Structure 1
Amino acid sequence: MEVRKLLESSAKKYNFSTTWTVGETSDKISGLPDTILHNILSLLPTKYAIQTSILSKRWRYLWASIHCLDFDHKLFYSSVYIPLGYDAFPFLPVPETKHTNASFIEYVDTVFMLCDTSKIQRFCLSCFYYSYKSRVDTWIRVAIMCNVRELDFSIQEPYDPYVEPYDPHVDFAGISLEEPVRFPHTLFTCESLEVLKMNLKWSIIKMPTTMGFHGLKTLHLVEVAFSDDNSTKKLISSCPILEILSMEKCTLYKHQNLFVSAHKLRSLTISGCVGLKECKIMISTPILLSFKYMQTSMAQDYSLDYSSSILNVDIDFDGPDYPWWRDDDFRSDVVIDSWLSFV
């Protein structure tokens, strides 16, 4: 029903009427051009897109040409499932009520093998990194080989009642007690990538010696931990045409300076980050149009150099609603007076 409702709403957008009658061999939505149906299916999690293959012969192979692959282990490990179109692709593993890590890996691998990888523009993956890290590396490599434009990777909580065994080397926040998150080197030199989103549950990201996101325009970092000054500076400076930078709930270990220098940057967001209290924040963005800063404490010092034609400045010293980020000695009146001297 979820798939049907989405298809009906999408058809209305293109002024197509939708008539669903039990027993009919065709419907108005099935008469839409392949390109429109591919766009509709690409808006769905891949699990649901594959399920449409059982609707009719018209739909059987449509999902294999979608331009977005979106895998979320929480959907895969749910207790209730609609058939996956097993009659269309008998070699696709059919999910059960309870899964092993191996079955999820097999599922993602099989989808990669069956779909038209030349059409993939966006790859989204949300999973237990420390349970799948050997395959996460491979999946990201494959996506990069497909010249994806957008990569969205999220680490979920390491424990789930449907997954066994629980990894004792990972704490409740998803932080590895032994090693940082390591991505393949090809990710940091990908020429086709335009949008990169990462949510690492406060795990430290390991930077390679050489890197360069020469085509990256949007970088969205959530709950990413950086080991030192050099790691943040290196990442930002490796994006020469970056236009949008967002750092939300990131942790800055051993940072004396947070240096944001991006000559093409138009939008900058710093929100709920840990470690800025002992930092000097230096911002050099000559054409910045939007600046959002949400923190509950002052940094040690500020050096702000941005465009005089900036359109939107949002400074909030109440900060995001995370009580553990609160500074007991924080005084908003002192903070505001200090900021006014910089703006």
Structure 2
Amino acid sequence: MSRSIPTEDRISSLPDPILHHILSFLPTKFAATTTILSKRWNPLWLSIPTLNFDDTSFEDYISFRHFVSTVFLLRDITLPIRSFNLNCLPSNPYDINRFVYAAVQRGGIEKLDLEMYGVKVKLPDSIFSCKTLVVLHLRGVKLNDVIVDLPHLKTLHLSRVSFQSVEYLTKFLSRCLILEELHLKYLLIDSDELVLEENFQYLPNLIRANITNGLRPFQYLRVGLDVLLFTLCCKAEVLHAQLDMKYLNTRYHQFPMCHNLIHMELNLVINHTEKWKRLLEVLNHCPKIQNLTIHKFRIGYESLDNWTDPTIVPECLSTQLRTCLLKDYRNTECEIQFAKFILQNSKVLNTMSIKSNTSLDLNVKHQMITKLTSSRRASTTCELLFD
């Protein structure tokens, strides 16, 4: 005898908060389509505390703008919006300001994610005095001399954001005193002055930082900018940074001491004759590094290698370093010397991993393995791994 298939709709019987949570993972356009399921679902999408608008699922900007406006008109104005995500190529910056202002004014917003493409949009000032905001992601907007008062902001992502000067960037960050996570990617600076506010507070609660430097249009402005961005993040415990060794210069700013940093991952653009010297300077200013990853990649010409063993070993190597991963190795003499230097001076190192370049010949890779396995190791427990 065949077993009957139950027809009970168990999902629809779930409480509203659980259904809201499920719908929050969908773009608002698709959440709206759940109204066809049953009467039970009809009002739910208009009371979700998360709004997610993406113009890529619309035929044109006009239909996108009409849908966003309709959602705000249909929603109960007393219902708070906890999370607001807006991703679009705006034809009219006024629309963007109107939508963002409406979301913030509903009250209780904790996460704001704005991704603009093409037009640099100036955002309404109300964003930067939002007392409830915890997470802020901005891409493709202008941030100049705005008044910032974000007492609960813990996570800040700035990507392709335009500042009139470095001073405005530092002023912005100095008003985010409980910030725990900071991502800076491809910032645009419209001035050639590198001015760090004299009383700048160095984000005392910062835990994680991610820096990708690719400033334009003034290429010479990048000289010293990596050092400045490093300085802004010097209190972090975990740091991921893309650094161009050509511009890692202390001409404008002294390299900061990073006393809290225990995990560092560096993506290094190798195109400068002093690259090894500058890398050692970074390590000398990070005395508590326990986990180190270095990924080298080359852009343009290959500069001359010039490694020489330093007279002073960085403190992090002799007392702290537990794991080290070196990526994109090509068996150059200086790469081998640097790897040996770490092996011979890292007294508490547990694991040293070498990941060779994918184009490396097997015979050349074998030569590299032979050279490094025969090297003396300061740590008797160090395991040498190759990939």
The question of a shared fold, defined as TM-score above 0.5 by the shorter chain, is answered with: yes
8 Å CA contact 2:167, 2:194 repeated in 1: no
Distance 1:305 1:243, change over 3 A: same
Q: Secondary structure at the match of 2:248?
A: coil
In the alignment, which residue of structure 2 is the partner of 1:270? 211
Larger deviation, residues 116-125 vs 38-47? 116-125
- One-letter code aligned to 1:105: R
Distance 1:54 1:258, change over 3 A: farther
In 2: Cα distance, 1:140 partner to 1:20 partner:
47
Note the 1:90-105 alignment, pairs <5 A: 99=60, 101-105=61-65
In 2: Cα distance, 1:330 partner to 1:144 partner:
50
In 2: Cα distance, 1:296 partner to 1:287 partner:
21
Q: Is the aligned partner of 1:66 residue 2:48?
A: yes
Greater RCO (Cα-Cα under 8 Å, separation 6 or more): 1
Q: Considering only CA atoms, is the larger Rg found in Structure 1 or Structure 2?
A: 2
Distance 1:72 1:331, change over 3 A: farther
In the alignment, which residue of structure 2 is the partner of 1:288? 236
In 1: Cα distance, 2:135 partner to 2:280 partner:
36
Cα distance, 1:283 vs structure 2: 2.1
Q: Is the aligned partner of 1:135 residue 2:92?
A: no
Distance 1:307 1:115, change over 3 A: farther
8 Å CA contact 2:143, 2:162 repeated in 1: yes
Distance 1:257 1:267, change over 3 A: farther
In the alignment, which residue of structure 2 is the partner of 1:300? 249
Distance 1:226 1:286, change over 3 A: closer
Distance 1:151 1:76, change over 3 A: same
The C-alpha deviation readout for 1:222-245, integer Å capped at 9, x for no partner, is 111222121111110111211111
Q: 1:256 aligns with which of 179, 182, 194?
A: 194
8 Å CA contact 2:149, 2:176 repeated in 1: yes
Cα distance, 1:330 vs structure 2: 6.4
Distance 1:284 1:183, change over 3 A: closer
Distance 1:109 1:307, change over 3 A: same
In 2: Cα distance, 1:215 partner to 1:47 partner:
30
Cα distance, 1:35 vs structure 2: 1.2
Q: Secondary structure at the match of 2:285?
A: coil
Distance 1:234 1:284, change over 3 A: closer
Q: 1:151 aligns with which of 112, 117, 133?
A: 112
Q: Is the aligned partner of 1:124 residue 2:64?
A: no
In 2: Cα distance, 1:55 partner to 1:27 partner:
10
The C-alpha deviation readout for 1:291-322, integer Å capped at 9, x for no partner, is 222122333224324334x331222214xxxx
Structure 2 gap segments, 5+ residues each: 216-220, 287-387
8 Å CA contact 1:317, 1:332 repeated in 2: no
8 Å CA contact 1:249, 1:272 repeated in 2: yes
Q: Is the aligned partner of 1:317 residue 2:264?
A: no
Distance 1:111 1:125, change over 3 A: same
8 Å CA contact 1:264, 1:285 repeated in 2: no
In 2: Cα distance, 1:255 partner to 1:30 partner:
59
- One-letter code aligned to 1:300: N
8 Å CA contact 1:71, 1:126 repeated in 2: yes
8 Å CA contact 2:208, 2:239 repeated in 1: yes
Question: Normalising by structure 2, what TM-score?
Answer: 0.62
Cα distance, 1:340 vs structure 2: 2.6
8 Å CA contact 2:203, 2:235 repeated in 1: no
In 1: Cα distance, 2:84 partner to 2:5 partner:
32
Cα distance, 1:277 vs structure 2: 2.4
Q: Is the aligned partner of 1:243 residue 2:180?
A: yes
Question: Normalising by structure 1, what TM-score?
Answer: 0.70
In 1: Cα distance, 2:231 partner to 2:36 partner:
54
8 Å CA contact 1:267, 1:290 repeated in 2: yes
Aligned residues with identical type, % of pairs: 28
Cα distance, 1:262 vs structure 2: 0.8
Cα distance, 1:53 vs structure 2: 0.6
In 2: Cα distance, 1:121 partner to 1:56 partner:
26
Q: Secondary structure at the match of 2:231?
A: strand
In the alignment, which residue of structure 1 is the partner of 2:36? 54
In 2: Cα distance, 1:20 partner to 1:273 partner:
59
Q: 1:75 aligns with which of 51, 57, 60?
A: 57
Q: Secondary structure at the match of 1:137?
A: helix
Note the 1:78-227 alignment, pairs <5 A: 99=60, 101-117=61-77, 118-129=79-90, 131-147=91-107, 148-156=109-117, 174=118, 176=119, 180-200=120-140, 204-208=142-146, 210-227=147-164
In 1: Cα distance, 2:142 partner to 2:273 partner:
28
8 Å CA contact 2:123, 2:142 repeated in 1: no
Structure 1's consecutive aligned runs of 4 or more residues displaced over 3 angstroms after TM superposition are: 257-260, 284-287, 305-308, 327-332
Distance 1:65 1:339, change over 3 A: same
The C-alpha deviation readout for 1:206-265, integer Å capped at 9, x for no partner, is 332x32222211100111122212111111011121111110122334242567721121
In 2: Cα distance, 1:267 partner to 1:238 partner:
18
In 1: Cα distance, 2:235 partner to 2:189 partner:
26
